[in-house]
Homo-oligomer: A and B are copies of this chain.
Amino acid sequence: ISTNNESAITTLFKEVHFADVAEVLDEVNFEEAIYIIKLLDSEKTSEILTELEVDIREKILENLSAKEIAEEIEEMDTDDAADIIGELSDERQKRVINALEDDELAADIKELLSYDENTAGALMAKELVKVYETWTVAGCMRRIRGQAKDVTRVHSIYVVDKEDKLVGRLSLKDLIIAKSDQQIADILKSKVDSVNVNEDDEEVAKIMAKYDLEAIPVVDDNKVLLGRITIDDIVDVLKDEAERDYQLAAGLTQDVDSDDSILQLTRARLPWLFLGLVGGIGAFIIMEGFQGVFTKYASLFFFTPLIAAMAGNVGVQSSAIIVQGLANDDVKGSINSRLLKEMLLAALNGIILALFLFFFVWAYEGKIDTALAISTSLVAVIIVAGLIGTFVPLFLNKRGIDPAIATGPFITTSNDIFGILIYFLIAKMILGI
């Protein structure tokens, strides 16, 4: 780049896949990225732009005029185009849309921008191959040749009636196999899955994964065909969903990655750590309340980290299982039966662990009453922790709140406090203090 050998660069990047170019641009410094983008033709750069990371794309777009952006947009599929325009300020959105030469495209993008985020409408593309049920196979083939040029990949051909309502689908294969004078209405498959334009995108992902669909048509409340969603968009939805759940479980507010700045990372991490700090102060206050116990049973205090850790771990395990079960739609039965099962499970785990702890403390400390007190309360703490871990995500889910926030620091912190409190109460009772 430093030698500014334009033609060499152009040739070099022409051979490379746009996703790889995007990776290079994510790496090089900003002026170089702009330089490369302006050098390549818009057919290629439009693809590169869609692959870039959001923050870098934002910076590049700031350096392009509305006219230049419009040129890039015209090369894109409508769904990508709408996503990118959606990232601009309202003011620039209008200017870019006005700069589009293709009026139909401008209308499509305006429509796509009007749907709420995380709905099927925001995910779909307007490009699709649509035929009327009254056409013949031969006529259909002829017209598809025209439509298909705009559509990168033909998954299904959607058949509509004269009011543009979806009535069936066809594959290209069906069309090739059929005789050329047959009518579309005679060869269409009337069983066609579709989703409403306002459907949640994670729901769409579930449907497509369940039925192994590669594309699904999107319709409005009157069954009028509006667009289609392809499986590659769903892959992104699934990845984002998994990443978000994972980050929530680890105590990160969503949308950070390891290359973000220290300030961005602090913003994602500090609130959860602060929650932990407040929880720790809670534990401190509880322990201070039991200070009097220390003179006689000092070792009780030395087991608090163990109790807190076990309460936290059990809570995270049971909440993670519930959160994952809810995501896969396979949590069945009532909350009560779930809680009962978790209680039995926690009791079983707790008793096994407590037995081990009992013999350790007895052998190490030589006091059977301390050993009994500590291990009995461990069982109680594990059961309560399991119940909290099971109940909280189920409760949040019932209330329509994302249960994934219940995993990680939230459950750990509350279980720490409850665990230590239960521990001292039961130990005091058993030891008769």
- Using a CB–CB distance below 8 Å, which chain A residues touch chain B? 17, 19, 27, 141, 144-145, 148-149, 153-154, 171-173, 176-177, 209-212, 214, 230-232, 234-236, 238-239, 242-243, 245-247, 249-252, 256-259, 262, 265-266, 269-270, 272-274, 276-277, 279-281, 283-284, 287-288, 291, 294, 298-299, 301-310, 312-314, 316-317, 319-322, 324-325, 328, 330-332, 338, 341, 344-345, 348-349, 352-353, 356-357, 360, 382, 407-409, 412-413, 416, 420
- Tell me whether A305 and B283 are in contact in the complex, defined as CB-CB below 8 angstroms, given that A209-B235, A257-B330 are known contacts: yes
How far does the Cβ of A302 sit from chain B's closest Cβ, in whole Å? 4
Q: Let me know if B349 and A270 touch, CB within 8 A.
A: yes
User: In the docked arrangement, what's the CA distance between A177 and B416, Å?
Assistant: 67
Chain B, residue nearest A22 (CB):
B210
Q: Let me know if B281 and A306 touch, CB within 8 A.
A: yes
Query: Could you list 22 A-B pairs, sorted by A, with CB under 8 Å?
Result: A172-B172, A214-B231, A214-B232, A234-B235, A235-B235, A238-B238, A238-B239, A242-B246, A243-B324, A250-B316, A251-B313, A256-B321, A257-B330, A258-B322, A265-B321, A269-B317, A276-B309, A281-B306, A281-B357, A287-B305, A312-B412, A313-B409
Copies of this chain, count: 2
How far does the Cβ of A198 sit from chain B's closest Cβ, in whole Å? 23
Q: Let me know if B277 and A330 touch, CB within 8 A.
A: no
User: In the docked arrangement, what's the CA distance between A352 and B263, Å?
Assistant: 13
Complex partner residue of A246 from B154, B277, B279, B324, CB under 8 angstroms: B324
Q: Let me know if B305 and A308 touch, CB within 8 A.
A: yes
Chain B, residue nearest A265 (CB):
B345
